[in-house]
Homo-oligomer: A and B are copies of this chain.
Amino acid sequence: MSAREDVAALALRSRTAAMVLAGLTRTDKDAALNAMADALLRNSAAIVAANQLDVDAARATGAIDQYLDRLTLTAERVKGIAEGLRQLVDLADPIGEVVRGSTLANGLELRQIRVPFGVVGMVYEARPNVTVDAAGICLKSGNAVLLRGSSSAAKSNAMLVETMRSALRDTKVPQDAIQLVPSEDRESVTALLTARGLVDLVIPRGGSGLIRMVVEEATVPVIETGVGNCHVYVDADADLDKALAIVVNSKIQRPSVCNAAETLLVHKAVAAEFLPKVLAAFKSENVLVHGDEDFIAASSEVRPATDDDWAREYESLEIAAKVVSSLDEAVAHIRRWGSGHTEAIVTDSISAAHKFVISCDSATVMVNASTRFTDGEQFGFGAEIGISTQKLHARGPMGLPEMTSTTWVVTGDGQIRG
């Protein structure tokens, strides 16, 4: 069978499961999530053993430590992943929520209610925790999921999915609500991305290369997630102590994630006072600075920034830095080079904050707070499937309501149009 026929056959089974899933109650779905969590804990040793084979194979091909760390499952990590499923049990069911409603003059009763998408495809890299997280979030939001992980995590993913599907056997959720798409060849990704009419939505999770590939190939609707070239702008009216704390926290608190700051912009009015302070702080935290000429003039350790630096998502202890002559210049820089994820302004000026908020064109704008707060858990969503950087459907951290569509239900008593 070709990859296309293979994926189509899987997707048809997903659709059948999705129809059943759409009609289940929260109680039914929560029972399935608890059963999945129990099964993961019970099967933890086998999961860790399967994962070890993936990790050994990756190490043999010379994968770097950061990659291996993301790939690795331990008993402790499996416990954390199972715990994530139990947290979903505590969250409200988004399905059936009445988003809007009214009664028309002719007596028709309108209700816009949340319904599942149907079948969601996940395309992601070598992070086996995503296999369970995504399956849980899709299940709770009433969606069947097709999981297409990395071939480097194939054995881990197979064991995780087998464990979850077995757990569904004694629940009302059909086993086909969770299915793994074969990862041996690249064609299965293309087949998933072009399965219009069979797959309702694809969400890519991973680096910018993966996300670009998905967007370019897909004819199925896509939600882009995660690429974060985030900026912190220190305004002329900033409290410089707060600014220093926010800049440092945004950069170093967890440099490898998408909401870490990658570029610092400083208004020239405060540059003379702020640059020595922030450069000293960066030095003590081992942050390498790629700066413009003002930053270079302030420290011999600053390297000259190129366009490549303004565009880059370092995801490490490096930062690009520039002095700007106005808020407008800061905004223009952000619009030119940013990825629309998160920008922060440090200022005590209401008008500056307002202008920054309406001009940045980003999913999240922080006023006097660290960029690191752009996060579903921090926002109080309880679960997050990713951070959308597109403008359609969902923007910013995506929780359970973002994993739904809506239907208009119009109830009458024989009304016709005159």
A→B interface (CB under 8 Å): 19, 22-23, 102, 104, 108, 110, 112, 115, 117-118, 196, 200-201, 215-216, 219, 221, 223, 239, 241-242, 245-246, 249-250, 253, 335, 353, 355, 357-359, 361-370, 372-374, 378-380, 390-393, 395-397, 405-417
Contact A408 B22, CB 8 Å, known A416-B253, A417-B373: no
A201 touching B391 in the complex, CB below 8 Å, given contacts A358-B22, A409-B367: yes
A117 touches B391 (CB 8 A): yes
User: Does the CB pair A22–B405 fall under 8 Å?
Assistant: no
Chain B residues with CB below 8 A from A407, complex form: 357, 362-365, 395-396
Verify B246–A409 contact, CB threshold 8 A.
no
- Which chain B residues border A379 with CB–CB below 8 Å? 104, 110, 408
Copies of this chain, tallied across the complex: 2
Cα–Cα distance between A110 and B376 once the two chains are bound (Å)? 12
Grouping DSSP codes into helix (H, G, I), strand (E, B) and loop, the A interface class, with mixed when no group exceeds half, is: mixed
Bound-state Cα–Cα, A87 to B104, Å: 19
Question: What B residues does A415 contact at CB under 8 A?
Answer: 368-370, 373
A391 / chain B contacts, CB cutoff of 8 Å: 117-118, 200-201, 221, 405
Hey, which chain B residues are within 8 Å of A417, CB to CB? Answer: 249, 253, 370, 372-373, 378
CA–CA, A50 to B249, complex, Å? 62
Query: A395 is contacted by which of B250, B364, B372, B405 (Cβ under 8 Å)?
Result: B405
CB proximity of A177 to chain B, nearest CB, Å: 16
